[in-house]
Structure 1
Amino acid sequence: MNNAQSWQWPETEWRGHVNRVRAGQSLIHPDPAQRWKGGARAAVLLSFDSDHETPSLRDGETSPGRMAQGEYGARAGVPRILELLRRYESPASFYIPAVCALLRPDEVPTYVEQGHEVAVHGWIHERNTLLTHEQELDLLGRATDVLHRQAGIRPVGIRTPSWDFSDSTLDVIRELGFIYDSSLMADDEPYEILADGAQTGIVEIPVEWIRDDAPYLMMDRFTGLRPYMPPRQLLQIWKDEFDAAYAEGGVFQLTMHPHIIGHRSRLMILAELMDHIRSHNDVWITTHADLAAHVASRLTTRTTIS
């Protein structure tokens, strides 16, 4: 193991870390009129990480209180979210740890029956940066198999737990044959992931903490983690994010959690956001999988970096 300080690294080392997993070519069409399906001005991607009890289980926090907080997401949050999506005729992507799917075998089929995508989100919301390549491959492989059985179709996408990438994650994603990932943050628009400067053919649909409910609304009574923003202030941030994406002809991607956004006062702002989005008649609301398939044709251009 190299114990040298980062300022002592040779150029090959710091350059190697930077280039290990890197953003390649943008995958959006340069002509806005040809960019999105049906000539839409912008694309909207709603996603929900149905973590439920797993972040607590992962950390060995098994008190009934912790379990109840997670149970709320499945028991109260998910039905409200599905009703809202039905009302606005909006398909969405649900990323669910396999343990959650096994706890409630009807949850994944319900998502699929209502026209939504189901994608991989780890086994038990594990911290993949602590795993070996073999452990990460085993957990994600088993998670994929669980969702395949329950959904009736094999997931094509992955969102890593906590948006973490280990040194092995990209290799595992390639080994398992995923078409896209949605865990990285190198752009606002979809791009191809490069591995050590070489193309992978994997679409990245970027996420961002600005467009995630957790940083604003999470609560932990034993730490300094507290909701610091009223939901209606958060609504304005997300409206501004959508408006900017619409003005640029880009993607507005949003990440939410049933146990966080699924509370009554918070779901109200999602409904208001959808009212705002639906006031534009040239917006394509779609799943991450459909967007990845749409932009995949742009992968034909070969690029490398050094």
Structure 2
Amino acid sequence: MIISGEEPWQWPEDRWRSCANRVGAGTSLARPWPDGKRCAVALSFDVDHETFELSKGGKSISRISRGQYGNRRGMPRIMSLLRKYDIKASFFVPAVSAKLYPEEQQAVVGEGHEIGIHGWIHEFNSLLPPENERELMMRSADTLEMVTGTRPVGLRTPSWDFSEHTLAIVREMGLLYDSSLMADDCCYELLENGERTGVIEIPVEWIRDDAPYFSMSLETSLRPHISPEDVLNIFLREFEQAYQEGELFQLTMHPDVVGKRSRIWILEEVIRAAKAKGDVWFATHRQVAEHASIGL
């Protein structure tokens, strides 16, 4: 006889099935890309700036200054590269970042890039009461619209932290897509308790994120442990396989990480490799989600 208890190994089947199916992956939406392109490339930037430290209490002036580097040096280098290669990208922006640097985000939208929701102050969704999570998400969307004149249609939760209430809030807000989860390499429809939602997931992955490779902490043993050349090799291998499969290559970067002088070339080399194929569709996350949603 199975005794039901609080430990997961004691759960009855209906409990662990319910937990596993709370937010699920539905139909894979890999499909022919526009204009006969073989592969889609979606570049994204999480514009955290000072909010990464502010969300933890803002006690470290040193870490706040590191966030300021993203605005002063990282963003100009990124914008210059995207301009050079005529590529549109997606920028996921905490509302506090947008309020600290409104001209920056206005320039991003002014050059045809996408702005997406990335929390209020880079808070952890799963630590919030549901009413606070809902209020902050809605306030964040309102703030981004007020600053940029454009209403965001997509969400990337801070630190990809997805609570059991996040999807319901996404649906209430009428968002087109989320980009916080990792059930596939290509787009898919999100399911809520097994039911279709019409919300597109553009999956992320720590492998395709610059921050884990270059993170640094004086208080812990966390140190960059891999060279920029090795990070580029990982990104290029991810891209090459996506190209061979005819699917999506999604990449997540941060202005204060990839925007450093010794790393910005990684982004340029990825762009050059994709451009060299001749049949790659560079698209914002919104464009990818709109294309994936056809026929849903």
State the TM bucket, normalised to the shorter chain. Answer: over 0.9
CA distance in 2, matches of 1:150, 1:3: 50
Asked whether the 8 Å contact 1:43–1:252 carries over to 2, the reply is yes
CA distance in 1, matches of 2:148, 2:116: 10
* Runs of 5+ unmatched residues, structure 1: 30-34, 300-306
What residue number does 2:217 align with? Answer: 220
Encode CA deviations 1:157-214: one digit per residue, 9 max, x unaligned. 0000000111111111111111000000000010000000000000000000000001
Shift of 1:61: 3.2
5 Å-filtered alignment, 1:1-306, equals 4-29=6-31, 35-299=32-296
State the identity as a percent: 53
Encode CA deviations 1:118-158: one digit per residue, 9 max, x unaligned. 00000000011111110001001000001111221210000
Runs of 4+ in 1 over 4 A off after TM superposition: none
Amino acid at match of 2:215: M
Give SS of 1:258's match: coil
CA distance in 2, matches of 1:136, 1:3: 29
Shift of 1:82: 0.1
What residue number does 1:303 align with? Answer: none
Shift of 1:113: 0.8
Asked whether the 8 Å contact 1:42–1:284 carries over to 2, the reply is yes
Count of residue pairs the alignment pairs up: 293
Asked whether the 8 Å contact 1:133–1:172 carries over to 2, the reply is no
> TM-score, structure 2 length as denominator?
0.97
C-alpha root-mean-square deviation of aligned residues, in Å? 1.0
Amino acid at match of 1:184: L
Give SS of 2:131's match: helix
What residue number does 1:32 align with? Answer: none
CA distance in 1, matches of 2:245, 2:164: 34
* Runs of 5+ unmatched residues, structure 2: none
Shift of 1:63: 2.8
CA distance in 2, matches of 1:220, 1:73: 17
CA distance in 1, matches of 2:41, 2:294: 19
CA distance in 2, matches of 1:63, 1:210: 28
